[in-house]
Amino acid sequence: MERVPIEFEGYRINSIDYSVYEEGLSEDKDKGKLQVKSLLTEDRKNAQLIIKTTVNDENNNRKLIIELSGFFTVHDIERAEEFLSVNGVAILFPYVRSVVSIITSLDNENAVVLPTINFTKPSSE
C-alpha cells in the first residue's frame, strides 16, 4: 500500500470574530476572501496550514471572520508545499464551511453555507 503524501492530524479554531450591525452601517464590504498560509517545521516532516476567511452577510447584517489551523504529517518532503496548497486546503476547507454554517445558524434561521471549491483547478475569478 502506497503511503499518502500528507496525513491530516486534526484542526483547531484559532479565532472567530462575529458581529451584527445595523442595516446600511457596515463599513467593510469584504466577502469571499480566502487567505491561506502554510508553515513547515525545519525538517519538513510536519506542517500547519492556516485558512482565514471573511463572510459579510449583507442580507442579515452580520459579518464573520474565522481562522482555522490544520495540522499535517508530511511524508513526501520534496513536494510538501504542492500537496499542502492543493490537498491540504481541500482537506481543511470543509471544516471552515461547517464552522461558518454552525456559527451563523446560532444567530437566526438563515445559516450561511459557503460554496464548495475545487482546489485542483485554477480559479477563473
| pTM of the full structure | 0.86
Under a CB-based contact definition with an 8 Å cutoff, are residues 51 and 119 in contact?
A: no
Give the domains, in start order, of the chain with CATH numbers. 6-107 (3.10.420.10)
Q: What is the pLDDT of residue 117?
A: 85
CA neighbours closer than 13 Å in the CB half-sphere of residue 39: 7
pLDDT 10s digits, 103-120: 999 999 999 999 888 877
21 burial (CB, 10 Å; 0-12 / 13-18 / 19+) is: middle
Q: What is the pLDDT of residue 116?
A: 87
Q: What is the pLDDT of residue 3?
A: 82
pLDDT 10s digits, 91-101: 999 999 999 99
Calpha distance 9→71 (Å, rounded): 5
Instruction: Kindly tell me if the per-residue pLDDT of 1 is higher than 90.
Output: no
pLDDT 10s digits, 16-60: 999 998 876 665 666 668 899 999 999 999 999 999 999 999 899
Residue 2: band (very low, low, confident or very high) from pLDDT cuts 50, 70, 90 = confident
Q: What is the pLDDT of residue 97?
A: 97
Calpha distance 18→64 (Å, rounded): 5
